[in-house]
A and B are shown apart, each in its own frame.
Chain A
Amino acid sequence: MKLISNDLIKISVNLCIFFIGLWIFFEGMFLSQSNASSSLFQSEVTQDVEANSTHFTSSFQSNFIPLDTNRSNSTFDRMVFVLVDAFRSDFLFKEKNEMKFISSLLNEGKAFGFVAEAVAPTVTLPRIKALTCGGIPNFMDLLFNFNSEALKEDNWIFSLRKKGKRIHFFGDDTWIKLYPGQFDRFEGVSSFFVADTVEVDNNVTRHIKGEFDLWNSFVEKKERRVEEEGKEKEELQHPWDALILHYLGLDHIGHLEGPNSPLMPGKQREIDGILRDLFQKIGELDEKTKGKTLLVFCSDHGMNELGNHGGSSLGETSAVLVLASPHFNDKSKRSSSPLKVAQVDAVPTICSLLGISIPIQSLGRIIPSFFESIFGEEDYLKILWNNSQQQSRVLKSRGKDNLSLNRLFNEAQRSHEKYLNQRESKDYRDAIKNYNRFMEEIQDEWTQSSSQDSFALWFGIILLFISTIGFLSLLCTKLLEETPIKSLSHENVIKKDLLLLFMITPFTFMIWNGFCNQTEQNSPVCSSSLGFKSFIFLLVFASLVIARRDIEVVLAKSRSWKGSIRWDSLIVCTCIFLYFAGLLGSSTIEEEHQTFYFITTTLLLVQSWKDFRGKSKDLSSLLYSISLLFISKVMRSWNQTGNKWLGGPDIHKWLLKEENQFFCGVLFIFSSLFVLSLGLVSPNSIQSSLKRKTFKMLSFLASFGIVLYKMGLFPHVETAQFVYFCIFTMILVLLSLPKGENWISRIELYLITFSQLFLLLHKVPNAFLIVGFWVQTFLISLLNQKNEFWRSILTLRWMGYSSFFILGNSNGISTIDISGAYTGLSSYNEFVVGSLVAIIGLSGPLFFFLYGIQMNNNSQGNAIKSISMIFGFRSVVILIFSLFIATHRHHLFIWSVFSPKYIYEIAFTLFDVIQSLFLLLLIKR
């Protein structure tokens, strides 16, 4: 027991350092951005309001021309902003589209259509931010996608409100959480009932008529008042100046059935009809009020071939932006392919059209070709100037005063001034050319800029490195446990430790103070309290002392080590090395499942070879190996995953086809019968007959409920809740069993319960995979009777990782199965949905972990061995990957590929911690 507690101390010390390092790195990588931007907003906001109220002066000395809205007859008074969630650009721009009305508008020149390129993460909340604030989103927005807070950054909603405009909103309630108190009338629909594709849109559409009736009655009232009093005395408050509608139905169809779903054309026609209706109403309204209304139709992001989104594939990033108005009359010839613009460009465009100030943080540029065709020369120049001025202010606030850019801007201003005085078309062209060049270059500047706290990054990496040394030295002592120690002097241990202390103390404080005094005072690492600093220091010291002793032991042991390197260990080491190398490339991360499949197959082949030779050439073991390998192959062709081949043919897609539905159903019923039969046979190890019968009864009821729910016979929330209830009670029954008695075999019962949950949560075509997992583990248990501990646990772990990908997950965000997490929920609950998402994503690794406990007959020593291997492996992965993204933080794919992968790695780390705690709990029993 003493040895165990010693190991536990080692593990917990290193784990502490590991998590502190991870947190510091994470904060430096992902969180420092939001701090920077919010502080900018605080300081600039007052200045900007003042600046806007300054009036136009004829000379450029004051460096300011406001966009005078009264004089320009091209700006719009009202806007109807229709956002269709996940509307991919090709739904509109492909040859045979369902959007007949919008296409006809585009052809007639009454509308302008663009492909708006969104940036990853392509999920709703950051996209709404991009469409209103115009800034490049913070990656953390993704994590808080389901937990939106009120937005503090400047955006056009605030700008409208500042001008006393009224905004009405109907649609996704994310907006209401983002902009509390900004909407004068609103109704939110929840985006969390993914299964609902009809009601969610009807709840938005039914408001349209009422909203326009409000205007009609307003106009009548106004006319009446003019008639009564001869002239209008006081300005009546408009019912609304901006109407925002956010439709979710299309996104829900995408999540459920993908872009080729039979529901899709109907939904697109429905949206086209809504837009036709809106356009008509706008026309009538404009005539009545002699005003101008802008119709904006856009989407927040697209979807990939599976109907999911979050990543940065072409389908996911191509959103749509259409600006329409009865007043547009563009006669220029239309090119067949629509112009590509950035999604953030919508912000300055909309603001300029409405004549409001551009949000301070906005990084977009107005769409030149569009403005040129609808605005007069003078107005166009003003808009360009306004946008450039705003951009250069952002540039200054980011501390990037660029001389050549300034010169370009000044040149443009000079030509502009000259044009205003002399009206020569040459100056006009010069001014436009220079403004546009200025904006282009400033756009390049944005793509290069980043705002990570590099000191925190490196500090985190140092801590991660120290903990990795600790874990690895522990792992090495465990690996060499059987080797006897020949000679190890215990005399100088304390002396050496003291020496270490004296060596690292001045060094650490020198680095710490040196860095903090030099550049980055605002780094959270520097501003932390002295107590925290000394806590970290003590931890690091303890870890180093422990590691030093461990290394000493390992060295002593390795000197007396007589065994030779075996070829199979060499292969295993090569595989591990290959996996680590795979962390260092964007495509190997995107297609990481290939690495895992490759390595797992290799390990299984080596294992089969060993088993076949070891078991005195038993032919049955050969048969088991062959079937295991073949089953693994079949299972991994179930779901295509990754990025490049995501849309490729696989069994899942085949089962979803109309003509194979019967087969799919048969497979599902077979799978649930399989799990049921396990549930009826296995509990015989339970002593108490009452509990045994209850367990069998419950597993029967659960299977019955699952079939009813998943096969669509009785697909109500209550059915799923009933299944949850059964599963929960099954776990309670298992927990109530007397302690100590045969707990290993009880793991199997937990596995059966888990399989029921699996069937309930996963998509119907994936159900058969649970049978595959059971068969795989069954074959392994047949093969693995007298296998080595280390290799078997490694193989199982690797199979667990493979099963993560087999279920269709990947290192991209778009493959997370969110719809399954709403099974049986009648209202949104953050905690429940979050844990269900985690269970669905990690069900493969969880299955193999539970199975591993059962197989390895965990004793205390084995548990510590497993834990040391888990963390030895994990810490190296995190260290390598942190180093990689710290050095590649300006890489093009940092937000689309590497950051999601990092989030996944952290999720796996937390999962590993839970696993280890579970193992330790088992030891205690």
Chain B
Amino acid sequence: MDSYVKGSIIHLLGSLSSLLFPTLFSFHLSDPQSTVKSLFLSNTLLFLTNLVSIYFIYSDNLKKRYWNGTLGFLFGIVLFYFIGIIYGAPLFSEWDRTFQWALLMSNSVLFRTSFALGFDPLLWMDFYSQTFNKLGSNKDVSISFPAIGSVVGCWFGAIPIPLDWDRPWQKWPVSCAFGCWLGLCLGTIATLLFNLLRSNSKRS
């Protein structure tokens, strides 16, 4: 089996199980503390599977890459916290929720990007700007698909927040987080399919 495929499978399993946690505990969602807790649990899980799955895709120069990835991850927390705020999250109150969301986004977007491309935000921007027109190699796809999926999913996940259904999952950041997980899973599945198809066509 291709190492990309292995990595993608692990990534998919990781994102699926990280989605599972809050879903299982979703009956606690009305309680803010447990929302934060379950988010934290799934963040940890996602982070660990990320560490493993990315290893299968990029096996060279590991020490530097993990260092870059961690840097990107930390940078991503700050960045996404800021984005959360400008999209309307409260500045200080409920900071833990916003922080957990930022962890999740950074986890699913910037850790892998930074791991693959090095800690260079300008390079990331170029990379993501190009993906829309040119898909790139298997490596590129396994970075960009899940990342774009989770950002788009999160964006659409924000839509139900102002609706008047009065459900606990409409509270910030639950629906956004679910959107992100969903996008992440879809992105990983797409990567997997893409890699499988490509390796098949290469073989034939």
Contact = CB atoms under 8 A, between A and B. Distances in A.
A609 B165 CA distance: 34
B122 interface: yes
Given A612-B125, A629-B86, A566 B159 contact: no
Most buried by B among A570, A598, A632: A598
Interface stretch (A175-183, A548-556, A582-590, A912-920): A582-590
Contacts of A586: 164
A141 to B, nearest CB: 27
Contacts of A578: 159
A345 interface: no
Contacts of A601: 86-88
A332 interface: no
B200 interface: no
Interface in B116-167: 122, 125-126, 129, 132-133, 155, 158-159, 161-165
A630 B164 CA distance: 27
Contacts of A570: 132
B155 A602 contact: yes
Contact of B83 (A591, A594, A605): A605
Contacts of A636: 88
A513 interface: no
B162 A594 contact: yes
A400 interface: no
B161 A594 contact: yes
A772 B126 CA distance: 32
B48 interface: no
Contacts of A609: 125
A562 to B, nearest CB: 13
Given A598-B158, A613-B126, A567 B164 contact: no
A626 B81 CA distance: 13
Contacts of A595: 162
Contacts of A594: 88, 161-162
B85 interface: yes
Interface residues of A, number: 30
A633 B126 CA distance: 27
A807 B89 CA distance: 19
A587 B164 contact: yes
Contacts of A644: 162, 164
Contacts of A585: 163
Given A564-B133, A566-B132, A567-B129, A630 B162 contact: no
Contacts of B129: 567, 613
A186 to B, nearest CB: 45
A279 interface: no
B132 A588 contact: no
Query: Main SS of the interface on chain B?
Result: loop
B86 A591 contact: no
Contacts of A587: 162-165
A629 B82 CA distance: 10
B84 to A, nearest CB: 10
Contacts of A486: none
A629 B155 CA distance: 17
Most buried by B among A601, A602, A633, A644: A633
Given A602-B155, A613-B129, A588 B162 contact: yes
Contacts of A598: 87-88, 158-159
Interface string A590-609: 11001101100110010001
A633 B125 contact: no
Interface residues of B, number: 20
B132 A613 contact: no
Given A564-B133, A587-B162, A591-B162, A632 B86 contact: yes
Given A585-B163, A594-B161, A598-B158, A633 B132 contact: no
A163 B159 CA distance: 60
Contacts of B163: 585, 587-588, 591
Nearest to B165: A587
A597 to B, nearest CB: 6
A593 to B, nearest CB: 9
Contacts of B87: 597-598, 601
A626 B85 CA distance: 12
A617 interface: yes
Contact of B132 (A567, A629, A642): A567
A564 B129 CA distance: 13
Nearest to B131: A567
Contacts of A613: 125-126, 129
Interface in A626-676: 626, 629-630, 632-633, 636, 642, 644
A42 B87 CA distance: 57
A566 B129 CA distance: 9
Interface string A224-262: 000000000000000000000000000000000000000
Contacts of B122: 617
Interface in A542-579: 564, 566-567, 570, 578
A630 B81 CA distance: 12
A633 B85 contact: yes
Contact of B164 (A564, A566, A590): A590
Contacts of B126: 613
Contacts of A588: 162-163
Interface in B73-113: 82-83, 85-88
Contacts of A567: 129, 132
Contacts of A597: 87-88
A633 B161 contact: no
A630 B83 CA distance: 9
Contacts of A630: 85-86
Nearest to A581: B159
A617 B129 CA distance: 14
Most buried by A among B158, B162, B165: B162
Contacts of B83: 605
Nearest to B85: A633
B154 to A, nearest CB: 12
Contacts of B132: 566-567, 570
Contacts of B133: 564
Nearest to B125: A613
Nearest to A571: B155
Interface in B151-201: 155, 158-159, 161-165
B88 A633 contact: yes
Interface in B43-62: none
A629 to B, nearest CB: 4
B171 to A, nearest CB: 12
A636 B161 CA distance: 17
A229 to B, nearest CB: 72
A744 to B, nearest CB: 31
A612 B125 CA distance: 9
Nearest to A575: B155
Most buried by A among B88, B122, B158: B88
A442 to B, nearest CB: 31
Nearest to B89: A633
B81 to A, nearest CB: 12
A642 B155 CA distance: 22
Contacts of B82: 626
Nearest to B126: A613
Interface of B: 82-83, 85-88, 122, 125-126, 129, 132-133, 155, 158-159, 161-165
Given A564-B133, A605-B86, A630-B85, 6 more contacts: A566-B132, A587-B163, A588-B163, A594-B162, A598-B88, A632-B86
14 contacts: A567-B132, A586-B164, A594-B161, A595-B162, A597-B87, A597-B88, A601-B87, A602-B155, A605-B83, A613-B129, A626-B82, A630-B85, A636-B88, A642-B162
Interface of A: 564, 566-567, 570, 578, 585-588, 590-591, 594-595, 597-598, 601-602, 605, 609, 612-613, 617, 626, 629-630, 632-633, 636, 642, 644
In the A-B complex, the 8 residue pairs with the smallest Cβ-Cβ separation, listed nearest first, are A587-B164, A594-B162, A567-B132, A591-B162, A629-B86, A633-B86, A587-B163, A601-B87
